[in-house]
Structure 1
Amino acid sequence: MKKLLSLSALLAGLGAMPVLAQDNLRIDGLEVIGTPVDGKMGFQPAVTRLAQDIHDLDWLILVIITLITLFVTGLIIWVILRYGKKRNPNPSSFTHNTPIEIAWTVGPIVILVLIGAYSLPILFRQQEIPEADITIKATGNQWYWSYEYVDEGFGFDSYMIGAPATLTAEDEAAGAIANTLDDVMVAKLEAAGYSRDEWLLATDTAVVVPVGKTIVMQVTGSDVIHAWTVPAFGVKQDAVPGRLAELWFSAEREGVYFGQCSELCGQAHAYMPITVKVVSEAAYADWLGKAKEEYAGIPQTLTVASAD
């Protein structure tokens, strides 16, 4: 029985269609949250403490620089009106003004101390990796991501839907061209539970994590420098060959989130997206059992109810 399960897992892994372990987690059961929206400005919704920190810091700095800009602009306008040639035909001449010099020295120091006092704890929170509930290793390749669930003993590759590796003979016979949106690609997206709006964002397999758990990502590269980035989580980490870096996040909301490789890594850099599905603990446990069986050939444990 184990041999049959291993053989079926191997055959499934070689297939180009979306993997079976992902079927029960298709996008139609989850809200699409972390995605760019045409015509919109600003950040994606923050679903982690790290992302909210970044948004708050951005807002603080925006308020500070807006006030400084308005203050300086007001001073310039006042000087133009008050000390223009018509109102001040005989300008005075002086070399310094001690109170003003003290003010423009102390003022910026106070502002920088305020920004530093607020931003440094945020930086430390990002860099201090907590104890992981789940550890996942992400390896950047030209041009796809490989994921390994370190504590569970399995892994898989994740390609953009429409990448050459995801095309079947039937797709090519139908006229599909890799990395090109056409009717065949739209059909492939819809078969995986996505829509044409998720083109260039959706992958054939997604990282699946439970909501509210601490996820530690170990990030590295196999060839050139890549970067694992998910804006809604507020995380970005370069994947450098020969080095193992870490980032962490804890998503507070179930949904589908998208990211991209954020380091120019070659001609197909634009076709290297990241898809993360944040699900309930029950859905994660169900997916984990199927993933172990499919990717590692580890059969699921069946619970048989005893007869009364």
Structure 2
Amino acid sequence: MNIDVTKLDTVCDAAQPWQLGSQEGATPIMQGIIELHNDICHFLFLILGFVSRMLVRALWLFPFPSGLPNKWIVHGTTLELLRTILPSIIPMFIAIPSFALLYSLDEIVDPILTIKAIGHQWYR
């Protein structure tokens, strides 16, 4: 039987040299972990983009030549509410799928075969 070594990476699911990301999950739990990782990365990049855009806009639009900040930015009630509520909502969007994955890990499957291995530590 001849095996083409150049096509071996399509046959075997193993990590590749300089691979970015995870290899494909063999179980539904691992697939859930990979999907959760991808979802969290999407949230991370959305937050990073939003914060970067707001920082650039604030530096571009409000250079404060007189040294005094705008009173609507410093003492705005609506802005203070948004600064408080939005950062508390974002972790809830991340926590809901992670709790679902955590509870799916606790699922007990009735095994067909159980192996009990007993080992003894060997001392000098």
More helix by share: 2
Structure 1 pair 110–38 and aligned structure 2 pair: CA distance change class (3 A): same
Structure 2 counterpart SS, 1:104: helix
Tell me how far 1:106 sits from its aligned partner: 1.4
Alignment RMSD, CA only?
2.5
Per the alignment, do residues 222 and 117 of structure 1 end up closer, same or farther by CA in structure 2, a change over 3 Å counting? farther
- Report the TM-score, using the length of structure 1 for normalisation: 0.32
Structure 2: stretches of 5+ with no match in the other structure = 1-7
User: Would the alpha carbon gap of residues 124 and 93 (structure 1) be closer, same or farther in structure 2, given more than 3 Å must change?
Assistant: same
For residues 222 and 108 of structure 1, the distance between their equivalents in structure 2, rounded to whole angstroms, comes to: 51
Cα distance change on mapping 1:103 and 1:221 into 2, 3 Å: farther
1:97 aligns with 2:79: no
Query: What residue in structure 2 maps to residue 121 of structure 1?
Result: 100
**Secondary structure of residue in 2 paired with 1:135:** coil
Which structure carries more strand by proportion? 1
* Pairwise CA distance, 1:109: 1.9
Aligned counterparts of 1:125 and 1:49: Cα–Cα separation in 2: 10
Structure 1 position 78 matched with structure 2 position 52: no
Work out which of the residue numbers 3, 9, 12 in structure 2 matches 1:32: 12
Q: Distance in 1 between matches of 2:50 and 2:60?
A: 15
Please give the TM-score of this superposition, normalised by the length of structure 2: 0.74
**Are residues 1:107 and 2:107 paired?**
no
1:267-298 deviation line (CA, Å, top 9, x unaligned):
xxxxxxxxxxxxxxxxxxxxxxxxxxxxxxxx
Give aligned pairs, total: 109
The one-letter amino acid of 1:114's match is F
Q: Name the structure 1 match of 2:4.
A: none
**Cα distance change of structure 1 residues 136 and 56 upon mapping to structure 2, 3 Å threshold:** farther
